[in-house]
Structures are given as structure tokens and as C-alpha cells.
Amino acid sequence: MKTYHLTPRDFQLIDEAKRKITLLYEEDKHHVGAALHTESDNIVSAVHIEAYIGRVTVCAEAIAIGSAISSGESGFDTIVAVRHPHSDEENQQLKIVSPCGMCRELIFDYSPACFVILEIDEKLQKTKIEELLPLKYTR
């Protein structure tokens, strides 16, 4: 996987995702926050919404993308998601998480050059969405 240097702007994005989920964390409702840096240099953040029936749950990345689009944004530079631990977990540290398969599709569909910030083996890394979704189906 090709990786890129993290910038101060990337750390600002991580801080915003952490701030959002810390502010809005609610047991069994919201435990993932995402922040999206748009090509127009705005940051949009959101939390996921949990549902009793899992397939109704909407990921934080999808909500951030939808919010950005609804605000007139069309290009995305970088996205990151942060997981807040449940109250019964021993480790209570926030952790950067990789987007799920559906979010990878969504990110790629709306911004195929978007960067994604990940944590792999306890090390922060940044890569392009195409690295996480190789050989994506296109028309």
C-alpha cells in the first residue's frame, strides 16, 4: 500500500473527528465520528447513527459526505474516522478506524482521489481510497 506524509492539516482533521465523537458519544447510539476535509478547505464532521437492526445503521463517513454534499461541497481531499470505546471496554482510548467496505465505495464514488487516514499496527498512515478499494468496478 502506497502511503503519504501526514500534514498539520491531517492532524487538525483527526482532532476534529475526536472532538465530534467525544462531544456526541452516546452508548448504543453514536460511537464513531468522522471528519472530512473538502477541496474548498472546509471541514465537515459527523457521528454515525446506530440502529437496533444493524443494516439501518449509517456510518459517520457516509453522514459526513452527505452533509458536505448537502452544503454544496463536491470534492473531498481527506477523510478520517475515530471510534470511541464502549463504556465496558478496558481500553478507553479513541482509535482511528478504517472505513468499512460500503464507505470505501461511497468515498471512491464521490471523490476517487480522496486520501484516507488509517492506523495500522499503532502507526498513523495516509493513503488514497483507490489503495483500499483496488480494481473498483466502474462503468
DSSP state of 52: S
Strand bridging mode 95-97 / 115-120: unpaired
Nearest to 137 by CA among 109, 115, 111: 109
Active site residues: 61
What are the residues facing 115 on neighbouring strands?
Answer: 78, 128
Question: How far, in Å, CA of 104 to CA of 115, rounded?
Answer: 11
